[in-house]
A and B are shown apart, each in its own frame.
Chain A
Amino acid sequence: MRDVAVIGIGLTKFGELWDKSFRHLITEAGSKAIFDSGIEGLEIDAMYVGSMSSGRFIGQEHIGALVADASGFSHLNIPSTRVEGACASGGLAVREGYLSIASGLNDIVVVGGIEKMNDVSGTAATETLAMAADQEWEAFFGATFPSIYGMIATRHMHEYGTTREQLAQVAVKNHSNGALNPFAQFQREIKIEFVLKAPPVAHPLGMFDCSPVTDGAAAIVMCSLDKAKKYSDKPIKIIASGQASDSLSLHERRDICTLDSTVKAAEKAYKQANITSNDIDFAEVHDCFTIAEICAIEDLGFVKKGEGGKAIDNNITQLNGSLPVNPSGGLKSKGHPVGATGVAQIVEIVNQLRGEADKRQVKNAKIGLAHNVGGSGATCTVHILEGI
């Protein structure tokens, strides 16, 4: 296996982007990443794009070829593949790109992630997202993702004494970070009372416990490490890529408060990087709901099972804490264009490791972890990156 580095990153503004089309967004992110890396189109060996449901959101499938075409590369006949794994589509696309370089098959790969979600109504968006759950056993009976994560939260509170206020504090923290991110959908701080008084969505989760519906795209350029210095002064090495699966439906799980796919993907990643969770300086985790961040920091091994709620009380995960989590604002504040999220997390990690994260720069950031989840935990990718 060859070592792989990220040499270029690109991100669009996240939000309700009524005046930007799917093509506009992915080519904006892609061209920013390519420009940032300094490569030429002729040098691209392959492209991967993560998107959960372009078919339902904009009525367009076959987006692998579309993205290459819209980028002006149709005459180069670059192989371009769409990857789907619900909200982990982006993380999976990154992993596919990584594997193709690590295997020695490709030298330079562009990976994108995108979702254009606001062209359908809120109800249609919720229904589309619910297709990432088990259609026969969950969605058919009316379970949507807020309700599935609501059940996880209720059980977590029962088992470990996690409080409503601790859930709310996750949103407060992530908004506080997002307020420093010019690409975030919600660039404003919120108070805990605001979260607690928000309209209910699925008990105990309220409006401000849920990530929003977002349009946006992200892209990275990856290269074999031996060639990376040719293009970049600050290549960022991918020191591990882990992936795991679990049952599609929540009720089949051994323990609904633990995402075993996260536990397993993290185990593989730590083993590959030959480090432990203690070596991680900061992380971008999949906080699609506030409870998801609490579960994530437990399942990634940052705190003991059941102590995720206390971590927020002890300010461990704050931007200036001992292990900053979601310095970008996370899915909650930065926004969650589902297929783009896994790639956008890598963009943030690279920004931080390059020391270019401006007001939200994590101090002494050497090793960062990206955690991307599909559904309620049926798919998970964990990537660990290190500045060199």
Chain B
Amino acid sequence: MSDIGIVSYGAYIPRFRIKAEDIASVWGKDGPSIIKGLGIYEKSVPSIDEDTATISVEAARNALKRCSVDPSEIGAIYIGSESHPYAVKPTGTIVGEAIGSTPELMVADYEFACKAGTAAIQSCYALVKSNLINYGLAIGADTSQAAPGDALEFSASAGGGAFIIGKNDVIATINSTISYTTDTPDFWRRAERKYPAHGGRFTGGPAYFKHITNSSINLMKKINSKPEDYDYAIFHQPNGKFPISIAKKLGFSFEQIKQGLLVPNIGNTYSGATMIGLASVLDIAKSGSRIFLTSYGSGAGSDSFDITITDKINLLKRKNAPSIEQMIKNKKYIDYGTYAKFTDLLYWE
């Protein structure tokens, strides 16, 4: 077992919320049946001056507040997002400068739909393991887009998680990680298009379920573990139904996924989704707890992780930054008009 893993963590969820019912009423849809169908009551909305860069900075600062890592010791920053503010110009440099990690720093922006954040964790893990860096910062953050009136409008939300990966004072050891990747066009956004397109029901069985199932089973086979070995499990959560269904299918109980299941109250934060789910588990996890995590990114692939909490968790100043529960509770409702303004729906050329 390696002793490489998570040294600290932080997250950020914008405080604005819009209720699914309010979106439904604008489009003449039946709110209660949509809430029941999707399992989402409300979603987070980024303010007009928030984007993936600001969310990443907030999440990274929250991670730094909890530990004593000197930002200048961070040797790599990888940010996974499908809403990087610039098509050309990295988000990672903005974040690196803002938290004081520049200039001796490896940086690149990642994109793999909703799993680019966990891909960033894998890269940082590998760089630490190969002794190229002491600490790496892996971030998954998004201000995800949904076309007005599209089914995605009920779920696409904003938020992010940041994880400092290293080998000193590790609070959560990454015991093993694998991926499962195929070319599956279930959801995409062409260059210069404002909103993504998706394959409707094709995004379910042959996409989300196939990849998470295979990745999860492959990891458990590889390390010879079983669902009941874990205290917590986190699965990608594009809506409230899919993660509950995949957990059941794989043999995990609702109790195991409850702490990491945030989509009913904040929506799908895309690259942030499993990252915030993991942050929520780290908010309460005790030494010795074992965590199973599988992300999913359209296009398509899944990353699975087997993680064990160490006794160093007791030294982490978890209260120095707000917990996920506190961020979920700190909210302000907005109407659809304000939502339209904040998310640039009123954009024209």
Task: Report how far A199 CA is from B29 CA in the complex, Å.
Answer: 10
Task: Report how far A122 CA is from B199 CA in the complex, Å.
Answer: 10
Of the 9-residue stretches B68-76, B201-209, B229-237, B305-313, which lies at the interface with chain A? B201-209
Binary per-residue interface labels of chain B (28-52) against chain A in the complex, 1 for a CB within 8 Å, 0 otherwise: 0010010000000000000000000
| A-chain residues with CB within 8 Å of residue B199 when the two chains form the complex | 121
Residue B200 CB within 8 A of the other chain: yes
Give the distance to chain B from A49, nearest Cβ to Cβ, in Å: 26
Residue A69 CB within 8 A of the other chain: no
Residue A136 CB within 8 A of the other chain: no
Give the distance to chain B from A13, nearest Cβ to Cβ, in Å: 14
Cβ contact within 8 Å between A121 and B33: no
Task: Report how far A121 CA is from B30 CA in the complex, Å.
Answer: 22
| A-chain residues with CB within 8 Å of residue B33 when the two chains form the complex | 199
Contacts A121-B200, A122-B200; is A199 near B30 (CB within 8 Å)? yes
Task: Report how far A16 CA is from B202 CA in the complex, Å.
Answer: 9
Residue A40 CB within 8 A of the other chain: no
Q: Which residue of B lies closest to A123 (CB)?
A: B200
Contacts A121-B200, A122-B200; is A18 near B206 (CB within 8 Å)? yes
Interface residues in A, total, Cβ within 8 A: 7
Q: Which residue of B lies closest to A122 (CB)?
A: B200
Cβ contact within 8 Å between A16 and B200: no
Residues 41-99 of B at the A interface (beta carbon under 8 Å): none
Residue A358 CB within 8 A of the other chain: no
Residue A159 CB within 8 A of the other chain: no
Cβ contact within 8 Å between A19 and B200: no
| B-chain residues with CB within 8 Å of residue A16 when the two chains form the complex | 201, 205
Cβ contact within 8 Å between A18 and B200: no
| B-chain residues with CB within 8 Å of residue A19 when the two chains form the complex | 206
| A-chain residues with CB within 8 Å of residue B30 when the two chains form the complex | 199
Give the distance to chain A from B322, nearest Cβ to Cβ, in Å: 39
Q: Which residue of B lies closest to A16 (CB)?
A: B201
| B-chain residues with CB within 8 Å of residue A199 when the two chains form the complex | 30, 33
| B-chain residues with CB within 8 Å of residue A121 when the two chains form the complex | 199-200
Smallest CB-CB A-B distances: 5 pairs:
A18-B206, A121-B200, A122-B200, A199-B33, A18-B202
Can you offer 14 A-B residue contacts whose CB atoms are under 8 A?
A: A16-B201, A16-B205, A18-B202, A18-B205, A18-B206, A19-B206, A118-B201, A118-B202, A121-B199, A121-B200, A122-B200, A122-B201, A199-B30, A199-B33
